[in-house]
Amino acid sequence: MRRTIPAAAVVGVLALSGCGATVGGTPVPEGATAPGSSSAYAALLTECDAVEPEQIADAVGGGAIERGFFGAICRWSVDGPAGPTRVTFNWFETGTLDVERETSQRLGYAVEDTTVDGRRAVLSRPPGDPGACGIAAGSPVSGVIGWWVQYRSGGHPDPCEAAATLVKLTLHLSA
């Protein structure tokens, strides 16, 4: 007696045998940090707490600090001898330094390549505002971080120095 195997069974066995594959590595949920990296940015809306308010005030030469908007862009207002200072922090998880550079150039800012603690960075200065400077660098986890300092009156320290100090404080999170 001759047995026949239904065609559907043959197709099923062939389909199952060709679909198996092994993928190496450790599974990580989308948006999670890579193993061994800093988790300081892992919690949504806590990236604004990466640098203590007192450290921000010290970096810009001020004293009293008031928290402003928090989200992907965080803002503070700092009072000090140079008058009011606006400080802004941003972290764009999927951002790049090239995009930061291109955006600053489109806005007409003076853009320079620089380094902060050996890490490639982009320094931007808006035209006609010597009290403002921003520095973007690769984040300790992914994307880019950026700090902007804008002194609102004359007699202020170098805003780029203050921004660089804040970038350094943020980068040290990954150490």
Does 174 score more than 80 pLDDT? no
Instruction: With cut-offs at 50, 70 and 90, classify the pLDDT of residue 51.
Output: very high
Closest C-alpha to 68, from 80, 85, 92: 85
Mean pLDDT, the chain, as a whole number?
81
* Domain residue limits, the chain: 66-120+138-174
Instruction: With cut-offs at 50, 70 and 90, classify the pLDDT of residue 164.
Output: very high
Instruction: With cut-offs at 50, 70 and 90, classify the pLDDT of residue 162.
Output: very high
Decide which of 34 and 150 is more confident: 150
Report yes or no: 143 and 93 within 8 Å, Cβ to Cβ. yes
Which pLDDT score, from 0 to 100, does residue 17 have? 52
User: SS in 3 state form for 114-145?
Assistant: EEECCEEEEEEECCCCCCEEEEEEECCCCCEE
pTM (whole model) above 0.75: no
Average pLDDT over residues 50-64: 93
Closest C-alpha to 103, from 144, 157, 74, 142: 144
Q: What is the pLDDT of residues 122-141, one digit of tens each?
A: 999 999 999 999 999 998 77
